[in-house]
Amino acid sequence: MNKTITVLPGDGIGPEVIKAAQKVLDTVAEKFSHQFTYQNAKIGGVAIDEDGTPLPQETIDLCKKSDGVLLGAVGGPKWDTLPGHMRPERGLLGIRKALELYANLRPVTAHKSLLDASTLKREVIEGVDLMIVRELTGGLYFGQPQERRQENDGESVVDTLYYKNYEIERIIRQAFELARLRRKKVTSVDKANVLESSRVWREIAIAVHADYPDVELEHMLVDNAAMQLIRDPKQFDVVVTENMFGDILSDEASMLTGSLGMLPSASINGNGPGLYEPIHGSAPDIAGKNLANPLATILSVAMLLRYSFLMQEEADAVETAVTKVLEAGYRTGDIAEKGQPVLSTEEMTEKVIEHIQLAVTN
Amino acid sequence: MNKTITVLPGDGIGPEVIKAAQKVLDTVAEKFSHQFTYQNAKIGGVAIDEDGTPLPQETIDLCKKSDGVLLGAVGGPKWDTLPGHMRPERGLLGIRKALELYANLRPVTAHKSLLDASTLKREVIEGVDLMIVRELTGGLYFGQPQERRQENDGESVVDTLYYKNYEIERIIRQAFELARLRRKKVTSVDKANVLESSRVWREIAIAVHADYPDVELEHMLVDNAAMQLIRDPKQFDVVVTENMFGDILSDEASMLTGSLGMLPSASINGNGPGLYEPIHGSAPDIAGKNLANPLATILSVAMLLRYSFLMQEEADAVETAVTKVLEAGYRTGDIAEKGQPVLSTEEMTEKVIEHIQLAVTN
Ligand SMILES: [Mg+2]
Ligand SMILES: [Mg+2]
């Protein structure tokens, strides 16, 4: 297949991990006889420096004309004093909005050889393989009114949790589709005992479930979900929830494994190109030093292959290679334990590529 | 001192653990020369059965006329099929509202002898001693409008996060006061990068801090707080946050120790009587069998002494007794490990009382 990928290296360690990811993509293209064409574009601090805006129109246009977008990281101390609308992070929010990416996929996988990095006990974290599906474009973060008020009896402030029903339906449908590619279980998280939006959410979840009788559906209150993630994270497969609950739960879940440098993410909309990026930041302290862990970005490539290109075998090959490399004891600095030899970004990338080539040859 | 305590045993194991707590109160009264007068009143299922409502007016009146309220637990399968407004839980919401209890205090203490019950590693959980202070009467759970809408382009739904500024100020002030009784650190949790209410929250926190220069104040985003509770819960002393964030974070925090049967809570308003109760439920399966763990209720008594009666020494005596009893290896069924002898509710209570008497005699 021919696919066009827009590449947004961004700031800090972004360019290094993106370079690593592209090498992995090249290997996949070669081994599986695909052709991947890259379009480079600017976002974040580098775009501010060169074009005076964190998200040039040209970047948006290129992203829209591609089959998938791969992003490194944005931000750094250099741009921290700029006004809000000029911050690098605005580029990220802007591109999500421009591509209408309403579904944020945050998988958490406990890699067997990294279990000790968790603050949870080995037997609790071993085998965890869950995905939080967070609604990304609605809810409390975007609802109107959002304002301060001067009332007769004093000042007050209001934010609004607003959803159109179709926004709820499409994200829940997305979760069921994802569950079909996994262990066929959806946990719909809400606060239906208190919120009207949650009661609607639950009704829609039940209605959509009728189209997916092969997938199990359970409902869980958000406060209980926050407990269960600690008590027994293995119980979860796909967890779907609204924007703010998803923000909190996905970050809570990301801490379970203790290896933030390993976690990929995807933001998709079901039709146009999706955006794939590691959840870690731009780590300006180690930028340009060939020290960054490229695995979260490489695993984001696997998600790009799986969810935007529907290349399951290719995605499996990348994920398996990462697992094998970890099992073989290779580590970057962030995931190395005392005494373990530490690989550079490039060395780690080479190891992953070797394993993909090996696996495909056999 | 003379104090009047309204006692609401409620349902399930409620009456047993309340009986245990009263015995402890009697011991404190005797040893420290106080006089505690008890007024019994009905709430929850027992009130539905006898008076046809989960919260009789008489109960409200008695609570208002007392110095503190001690509650066991409400609810059970017998009342699960009743319509919403007739459920036992309504009694709980009703009494919180009637007493205007806007501050929910949820301490989490890792008892050294129970560390193995946690799903977190010993070194992570050992020494944890934090308190979540949750705003309980405002925010997303009570704001208006809360409704479904029929719009030109389809159905939608809205909930409203609303705060009057004075509601934010009083809960933050409460947190600073509590921090002064503890390790003098307040973590104010918000989502100030997204919500207007959080930006107001943060401004008020900074303003109130001026009155408490001896207390350290830090701000933390709610998603980060959900991570930090798992990564390093020891960093927290007092955590203050709005209603829904507090609901999620307090339940997440309560799972850290793995011993729900040990956790007390308080709901206070700074002026009138506070309400003290264990966070566990009515456990109908073991009700009336003398098997329930009374320690969460006994620790709620310690909170009653500390926060409503300002009896620090007495509160310390109760908490120390519980610690000593655990160190001596005494366990109820819910916290016993394999092979440990199991005490009944009454036996465990006796052990606590012995230790209070011993300590005070010495
Ligand atoms: Mg977040
Ligand atoms: Mg809760």
Written in H, E and C, the secondary structure of B337-358 is: CCCCCECCHHHHHHHHHHHHHH
Peptide bond into B145 cis (omega under 30): yes
Q: Kindly report the CATH number that applies to the domain delimited by B129-255.
A: 3.40.718.10
DSSP-assigned letter for residue A337: P
- Average pLDDT rounded to a whole number, residues B284-295: 97
Enumerate the active-site residues of A: 141, 191, 223, 247, 251
- Average pLDDT rounded to a whole number, residues A147-164: 97
Q: Which of A248, A256, A279 to mutate to test the interface with B (most CBs of B within 10 A)?
A: A248
Q: Which chain B positions have a beta carbon within 8 Å of A245's beta carbon?
A: 248
H helix or E strand, kind and range, residue A342 = none
pLDDT digits 0-9 by tens, A191-217: 998 999 999 999 999 999 999 999 999
pLDDT digits 0-9 by tens, B77-87: 999 888 878 88
Q: Where are the alpha helices (DSSP H) in chain A?
A: 14-32, 45-51, 57-64, 88-98, 122-125, 165-180, 196-209, 222-231, 243-254, 295-303, 312-327, 345-361
Burial A111-138 (b: 16+ CB within 10 A, else e): bebbbebbbbbeebbeebebbbbbbbbb
Average pLDDT of chain B? 96
pLDDT at A52 over 70: yes
Whole-number Å distance, alpha carbon B116 to ligand 2 midpoint, is 24
Looking at chain A, which residues constitute the CATH 3.40.718.10 domain(s)? 1-109+258-362, 129-255
**What is the per-residue pLDDT for B82?**
86
Give the model's confidence band at A80: pLDDT under 50 very low, under 70 low, under 90 confident, else very high. Answer: confident
CA distance A109 to A131: 8
Q: Which one of the listed residues B23, B191, B324, B351 is annotated catalytic?
A: B191
Are A332 and A342 contacting, i.e. CB atoms less than 8 angstroms apart? yes
Peptide bond into A145 cis (omega under 30): yes
- Average pLDDT rounded to a whole number, residues A97-126: 96
Annotated binding residue at A79? yes
CA distance B304 to B42: 20
**What is the per-residue pLDDT for B121?**
97
Structure tokens of B212? 């408490």
Which is more confident, B166 or B84? B166
User: For residue A237, how many C-alpha atoms fall within 13 Å in the half-sphere facing its CB?
Assistant: 17
CA distance B27 to B38: 14
* Whether B248 and A222 lie within 8 Å, measured CB to CB: yes
**What is the per-residue pLDDT for A207?**
98
Structure tokens of B148? 């479904």
**What is the per-residue pLDDT for B361?**
60
Residue B55, C-beta contacts closer than 8 angstroms, at least 6 positions apart: B43, B47, B90, B91, B94, B95, B98
CA distance A25 to A6: 13
Q: Kindly report the CATH number that applies to the domain delimited by A1-109+258-362.
A: 3.40.718.10
Give the model's confidence band at A362: pLDDT under 50 very low, under 70 low, under 90 confident, else very high. Answer: low
Annotated binding residue at A80? yes
Q: In chain B, which residue's Cα lies nearest the Cα of A120?
A: B120
pLDDT at A218 over 90: yes
**Over the Cα atoms of chain B, what is R_g?**
21
End-to-end Cα spacing for chain B: 22
**What is the per-residue pLDDT for B117?**
93
Give the model's confidence band at B93: pLDDT under 50 very low, under 70 low, under 90 confident, else very high. Answer: confident
Q: Which chain A positions have a beta carbon within 8 Å of B194's beta carbon?
A: 140-141
Partnered with residue A185 across adjacent β-strands are A216
Residue among B156, B166, B195 whose CB faces A162 most closely: B156
Are A148 and A157 contacting, i.e. CB atoms less than 8 angstroms apart? yes
**Over the Cα atoms of chain A, what is R_g?**
21
pLDDT digits 0-9 by tens, B1-27: 999 999 999 999 999 999 999 999 999
Average pLDDT of chain A? 96
CATH architecture of B1-111+257-362: 3-Layer(aba) Sandwich (3.40)
Looking at chain B, which residues constitute the CATH 3.40.718.10 domain(s)? 1-111+257-362, 129-255
Are B353 and B23 contacting, i.e. CB atoms less than 8 angstroms apart? yes
* Whether B157 and A200 lie within 8 Å, measured CB to CB: yes
Q: Which of residues 225-264 of A touch B (CB under 8 A)?
A: 226-227, 229-232, 244-245, 247-252, 254-256, 258
The alpha carbon of B3 is separated from its chain's Cα centroid by a whole number of angstroms, namely: 21
**What is the per-residue pLDDT for A213?**
98
CA distance A43 to A59: 7
pLDDT digits 0-9 by tens, A2-12: 999 999 999 99
CA distance B35 to B108: 30
**What is the per-residue pLDDT for A88?**
92
Distance from CA of B295 to the nearest CA of A (A): 21
pLDDT at B291 over 70: yes
Whole-number Å distance, alpha carbon B248 to ligand 2 midpoint, is 6
At residue A211, φ and ψ (nearest 5 deg) are: -80, -5
DSSP-assigned letter for residue B193: T
Give the model's confidence band at B146: pLDDT under 50 very low, under 70 low, under 90 confident, else very high. Answer: very high
pLDDT at A360 over 80: no
Give the model's confidence band at B362: pLDDT under 50 very low, under 70 low, under 90 confident, else very high. Answer: low
* Whether B146 and A200 lie within 8 Å, measured CB to CB: no
**Which 3 state secondary structure label does DSSP give B75?**
coil
pLDDT digits 0-9 by tens, A239-291: 999 999 999 999 999 999 999 999 999 999 988 899 999 999 999 999 999 99
Give which of B14, B83, B90 is closest to B56, Cα–Cα. B90
Percent of all residues in chain A with a pLDDT value above 90, rounded to a whole number: 92
**Segment among A78-87, A274-283, B119-128, B166-175 with least mean pLDDT:** A78-87
B341 touches chain A (CB under 8 A): no
Are B329 and B113 contacting, i.e. CB atoms less than 8 angstroms apart? yes
Which is more confident, B60 or A84? B60
CA distance B241 to B175: 9
Q: Which chain B positions have a beta carbon within 8 Å of A154's beta carbon?
A: 164-166
Q: Which chain A positions have a beta carbon within 8 Å of B226's beta carbon?
A: 226, 248-249, 251-252, 255
A360 touches chain B (CB under 8 A): no
CA distance B342 to B286: 14
- Average pLDDT rounded to a whole number, residues A169-187: 97
**What is the per-residue pLDDT for B338?**
86
Structure tokens of A167? 């926004």
Burial A142-177 (b: 16+ CB within 10 A, else e): bbeebeeeeeeeeebbbbbbbbbbebbbbbbbbbbb
Are A162 and A145 contacting, i.e. CB atoms less than 8 angstroms apart? no
**Segment among A69-73, A80-84, A103-107, B205-209 with least mean pLDDT:** A80-84
pLDDT at B167 over 90: yes
User: For residue A251, how many C-alpha atoms fall within 13 Å in the half-sphere facing its CB?
Assistant: 19
**What is the per-residue pLDDT for B81?**
87
B276 catalytically annotated: no
Q: Which of residues 163-192 of A touch B (CB under 8 A)?
A: 163-166, 191
In the block, residue with structure tokens 């300590």:
B359
